[in-house]
Amino acid sequence: MDRIAEFRKWKVQCLSKADLSRKGSVDEDVVELVQFLNMRDQFFTTSSCAGRILLLDGGINGFEVQKQNCCWLLVTHKPCVKDDVIVALKKANGDATLKFEPFVLHVQCRQLQDAQILHSVAIDSGFRNSGITVGKRGKTMLAVRSTHGLEVPLIHKGKLMVTEEYIDFLLNVANQKMEENKKRIERFYNCLQHALERETMTNLHPKIKEKNNSSYTYKKQRNQEKARSQCITKENVKELENDDDDVGINITIFPEDY
């Protein structure tokens, strides 16, 4: 079986499976984006989360919450208010932690070139911790992610360690991050549509395609500012410049079958 046929087989198998996430469906804020990608021949999504605020009660390894072993006291994909958190905290018995997890999207791509297009769009949209992994069997995965998360312990051994005023402050921070997260998702979707439109036009003109395929890294460095000017409004430039995440393509080759 050739690579393209195998990719099609993987896509059919993945999209026909039941959604095993806790929610059981794609988050509202990314439904259109996920559908757009899955309608393209060269992509399909394997998992996604639009971003969420969590309150978890359970085992903690250092400051890292092991979500699979904890009780989810509260989860929302919308801005959160203090009263909801206070009520949820009353149910905590162990170590409760407030978290904000930003948007994450995993996309399997038909070939590396397709993944590189998505990666470039993700970086230019503010998701600067995005990366590509290539499996031994040829599976090429693109992860869209950023590092503007939040994780703060609130209760230790059943005892509240902070004031309600501080909880209110944390929620303001988390809600601001949620709003920024939503803007980045919209920016990514808009830039993605433009990028794939350009790719379609390139494929219709072989001479342009040959020129554009010379070097992904060189092209990305050379045209990064141009791409941003097309997809990012002036009010978003400052926030992207202040993002401390590392910029660059991250390709990992899996040592085992994937």
DSSP state of 175: H
**In the block, residue with structure tokens 């990064």:** 224
| Helices H / strands E in the chain, number of each | 8, 10
> Distances in Å between the alpha carbon of 56 and those of 48, 86, 124, 151, 239?
20, 13, 32, 10, 30
Residue 258: what pLDDT? 40
pLDDT for 257 equals 45
Alpha-carbon gap, residue 136 to 57, rounded angstroms: 38
Question: Residue 169 is which amino acid?
Answer: F
Query: Which ranges constitute the DSSP H helices of 17-163?
Result: 31-38, 82-89, 112-124
| pLDDT computed for residue 200 by the predictor | 79
Residue located via tokens 């021949």: 41
Q: Would you state the pLDDT for residue 94?
A: 87
**Exposed e or buried b for every residue in 101-116, given b needs 16+ CB within 10 A?**
bbbbbbbbbbeeebbb
What's the pLDDT score for residue 141? 96
Q: What is the pLDDT of residue 210?
A: 53
pLDDT at position 250, please?
52
Beta bridge partners of 159: 156
Per-residue pLDDT tens digits of the chain, which is 258 residues long = 688 888 999 899 998 887 767 677 899 999 999 999 999 999 999 999 999 999 999 754 444 445 556 788 999 999 999 999 999 999 988 899 999 999 999 999 999 999 999 999 999 999 999 999 998 888 999 999 998 899 999 999 889 999 999 999 999 999 999 999 999 999 999 999 999 998 878 777 655 555 555 444 444 444 454 545 455 444 454 454 445 444 444 555 444 344
Is 3-204 CATH 3.30.1960.10? yes
Domain boundaries, the chain: 3-204
**pLDDT for res 193:** 95
